[in-house]
Chains A and B, each alone.
Chain A
Amino acid sequence: MNSIAVHADSVRASLGNVEILHGISLSIQAGRWTSIVGPNGAGKSTLLKVLAGLLPHTGTVTLLGQPMASLPGRLRAQRMAWLGQNESSADDLTVFDVAMLGRLPHQPWLAAPSTADHVAVEQALKATQAWDWRARSLGQLSGGERQRVLLARALAVQAQVLLMDEPLANLDPPHQADWLDIVRALVDKGTTVVSVLHEVTMALQADAVVVMAGGQVQHHGPSHHPDTHSAVEQVFDERISIHSVDDQWVVLPRLRMHGSAVATVSFL
């Protein structure tokens, strides 16, 4: 098995005329969970899209040892699943139909879903506790429920690599914990998971953390390592601090001095 699932070499990408990623080189270990963190505008989502082959870029990206550019779209889709943020307008589709879309890369064109497709969809919907709503339309669900269905769609692909952009959006704490269990189970089975997360506490649950700022990778290391924690605190302008609580890393806000807070409020 290739120990590197995704590799980026001197990747540059722009949105419009603005260059967002400035020559990023990065190797994502296979069979591990890697989180990407950084302040707003750091280029996290752009990097994830580049790694997924969804955004034009210069430099090279390889997926499981093969250059992404030379992979047929269908093969790439079988090997790598994607969960984006705030993209769905599929209110009329049923939960089951949405999850079944994850099986598209495995289905011959115009073929009816196979037994394996049905099994994969059922497993995915049960994993995200969405199976009971399978006949309901997406438009009838709350934001958090919808997010679980979209996660099920990504899980149904049964890809070796799973990329997720803000997968915890709209999820309440119990379902965030469920999400962690799902990711851990996937990684235990050998799946590579890469996630962009705003919640740094959740991101530090990963095996490795990529710390980004200004369109560049500032640090890439194990989530428990002090250097990683320093890099995270640094890119957030030392406005957060990382502490150990019950063998888990917890991020707390570092409040300004009282005087400067008063000055900020009076300025507002």
Chain B
Amino acid sequence: MNHPRVNFLGLGLLILAVVLTLLGASVGSTGFDNLLRAADDPVALQIVWDIRLPRTLGAWLAGALLGLAGAVAQGLFRNPLADPFLLGSASGASLGVALSLVLFGVSPFATQWLTRLGLTGGAFAGAVLGVLLTLLLAKGVQHTLRLLLAGVIVGVVLGAAKELIMLARPDFLQSMQAFMLGSTGYVGWNACLIMLLAWLVCMAAAWALSPVLDGLALGEATAASLGLPLARLRAALVAVLALATGTAVAQTGLIAFVGLAAPHLVRSVVKTSHGRLIVLSSLMGGALLMAADILARWVLAPLELPVGILTAVLGGSYLLWLMHRRVTAGGML
């Protein structure tokens, strides 16, 4: 079957990403600069190339990872309100970063290759730990209410462990706070490369595993009757979820609601299978975070808002509107 709306939305989001990249490269602490003029000025060119462009592309990649993770989480847990951050992965990643900070004594926004890799590893391991703990507590993924409750509990417990570490090492408090608020300000080309690699791996894996999500949408028994080895495939999907969330969180800190909102925005335009939903949610997440990042730099320039605060306010409002719309439509959340 042809999917003209899907293709149209995908193309639109790609064009939006290109336009926003150009806009992001043009916006800095001094406001809007003409890129053509920067080409003649070596200093301006260096600012665009070394600072604005990597952070703009980094915002897209982090958003794309979170959008992808959101679509996978909502399909895997068969719950439209599932968010990669609601299932313990974010608090796990935070704990992982906190432990990395204390053990290796590095800044969360260091630009050295090995340091970033170490932080990504810590965040990834933490994210996996968080999600696995949630699954363990919920005894699987069948009962969504138990799952979300388990996610909240894991979030609180791992969050408390992280707070304990920060209490013991207050010298890292400021670094950790910057991480918790979320920012693309320190994303360099190395971070972009790490996120790009993770995005490619996650996208390929999620696309390959998407028939499982379609099958699961018809129910556990139906999916099993289709001959799908559910246990193994679910574990692979959880790994994708953890890698995507962990990588994004490690590079840009906790950026809220992108993972929740992106799939919903896609669904409000097209109804489609999980494979296409994942791709579109990823493109949507990238565009959302890139736009939010530009806004965060622009609104109070030369001051800069942490982009995580902006996405939390905008995403929170969206979530409230979503709840309101569903309740007034007579539906259940």
At the interface, yes or no: B316 with Cβ under 8 Å from chain A?
no
- Total contacting residues, chain A, CB less than 8 A: 38
In the bound complex, residues from chain B placing their C-beta under 8 Å from that of A77 are 225-227
> How close is A105's CB to chain B, nearest CB, in angstroms?
5
In the bound complex, residues from chain B placing their C-beta under 8 Å from that of A73 are 224, 227-229
In the bound complex, residues from chain A placing their C-beta under 8 Å from that of B222 are 82-84, 87-88
Known: A92-B267, A139-B271. A101 touches B214 (CB 8 A): yes
The answer to whether B219 and A104 touch across the interface, beta carbons within 8 angstroms, is no
Interface residues of B in 179-228 (CB under 8 A from A): 208, 211, 214-215, 217-222, 224-228
The answer to whether B228 and A94 touch across the interface, beta carbons within 8 angstroms, is no
CA distance A259 to B224 in the complex (A): 51
In the bound complex, residues from chain B placing their C-beta under 8 Å from that of A54 are 221, 224-225
Total cross-chain contacts (CB, 8 A): 86
Q: Which label, helix, strand, loop or mixed, suits the secondary structure of the A interface?
A: mixed
In the bound complex, residues from chain B placing their C-beta under 8 Å from that of A76 are 227
At the interface, yes or no: B277 with Cβ under 8 Å from chain A?
yes
In the bound complex, residues from chain B placing their C-beta under 8 Å from that of A92 are 217, 267, 271-272, 277
> How close is B61's CB to chain A, nearest CB, in angstroms?
25
Return the chain A residue nearest B207 by Cβ. Answer: A110
Known: A96-B1, A105-B227. A87 touches B221 (CB 8 A): yes
At the interface, yes or no: B78 with Cβ under 8 Å from chain A?
yes
In the bound complex, residues from chain B placing their C-beta under 8 Å from that of A88 are 217-219, 222
At the interface, yes or no: B273 with Cβ under 8 Å from chain A?
yes
CA distance A143 to B79 in the complex (A): 20
The answer to whether B272 and A80 touch across the interface, beta carbons within 8 angstroms, is no
**Most chain B beta-carbon neighbours within 10 Å: one of A49, A72, A73, A74:** A73
At the interface, yes or no: A81 with Cβ under 8 Å from chain B?
yes
In the bound complex, residues from chain B placing their C-beta under 8 Å from that of A81 are 225
The answer to whether B228 and A93 touch across the interface, beta carbons within 8 angstroms, is no
Interface residues of A in 95-113 (CB under 8 A from B): 96-98, 101-102, 104-105, 109-110
CA distance A93 to B6 in the complex (A): 13
Interface residues of A in 130-168 (CB under 8 A from B): 134-135, 137, 139, 150, 153
In the bound complex, residues from chain A placing their C-beta under 8 Å from that of B267 are 92
Interface membership of chain B positions 225-250, coded 1 if the CB is closer than 8 angstroms to chain A and 0 otherwise: 11111000000000000000000000
The answer to whether B272 and A94 touch across the interface, beta carbons within 8 angstroms, is yes
The answer to whether B208 and A110 touch across the interface, beta carbons within 8 angstroms, is yes
> How close is B231's CB to chain A, nearest CB, in angstroms?
11
In the bound complex, residues from chain A placing their C-beta under 8 Å from that of B208 are 109-110
The answer to whether B1 and A94 touch across the interface, beta carbons within 8 angstroms, is yes
> How close is A92's CB to chain B, nearest CB, in angstroms?
5
Residue from the list A94, A98, A109 in contact with B218, Cβ < 8 A: A98
> How close is A170's CB to chain B, nearest CB, in angstroms?
16
At the interface, yes or no: A185 with Cβ under 8 Å from chain B?
no
Return the chain A residue nearest B273 by Cβ. Answer: A97
Return the chain B residue nearest A150 by Cβ. Answer: B218
> How close is A186's CB to chain B, nearest CB, in angstroms?
17
Known: A94-B271, A94-B272. A101 touches B218 (CB 8 A): yes
CA distance A92 to B75 in the complex (A): 11
**Most chain A beta-carbon neighbours within 10 Å: one of B1, B208, B211, B220:** B1
At the interface, yes or no: A52 with Cβ under 8 Å from chain B?
yes
At the interface, yes or no: A90 with Cβ under 8 Å from chain B?
yes
The answer to whether B215 and A101 touch across the interface, beta carbons within 8 angstroms, is yes
At the interface, yes or no: A260 with Cβ under 8 Å from chain B?
no
Known: A134-B1, A135-B1. A90 touches B227 (CB 8 A): no
The answer to whether A104 and B217 touch across the interface, beta carbons within 8 angstroms, is no
The answer to whether B214 and A93 touch across the interface, beta carbons within 8 angstroms, is yes
CA distance A65 to B136 in the complex (A): 38
The answer to whether A87 and B218 touch across the interface, beta carbons within 8 angstroms, is yes
In the bound complex, residues from chain B placing their C-beta under 8 Å from that of A17 are none
CA distance A82 to B227 in the complex (A): 11
At the interface, yes or no: A14 with Cβ under 8 Å from chain B?
no
Known: A101-B214, A104-B227. A89 touches B1 (CB 8 A): no
CA distance A54 to B224 in the complex (A): 7
Return the chain B residue nearest A78 by Cβ. Answer: B227
The answer to whether A104 and B271 touch across the interface, beta carbons within 8 angstroms, is no
The answer to whether B225 and A80 touch across the interface, beta carbons within 8 angstroms, is yes
Residue from the list A83, A90, A109 in contact with B217, Cβ < 8 A: A90
In the bound complex, residues from chain B placing their C-beta under 8 Å from that of A78 are 227
Known: A89-B78, A92-B267, A94-B272. A104 touches B218 (CB 8 A): no
Cβ-closest 3 pairs across A and B: A87-B219, A77-B227, A82-B225
List 14 other contacts, CB 8 Å, given A74-B227, A92-B277, A101-B215. Answer: A73-B229, A78-B227, A81-B225, A82-B222, A84-B221, A84-B222, A87-B222, A92-B217, A92-B272, A94-B273, A104-B211, A109-B208, A135-B1, A150-B218
Interface residues, chain B, with chain A CB atoms under 8 Å away: 1, 78, 208, 211, 214-215, 217-222, 224-229, 267, 271-273, 277
- Can you give 26 contacting A-B residue pairs, CB < 8 Å? A49-B221, A52-B221, A54-B221, A73-B224, A73-B227, A73-B229, A75-B227, A82-B222, A82-B225, A87-B218, A88-B217, A88-B218, A89-B78, A89-B218, A90-B218, A91-B271, A92-B277, A93-B273, A94-B1, A96-B1, A97-B273, A101-B211, A101-B215, A101-B218, A104-B227, A110-B208
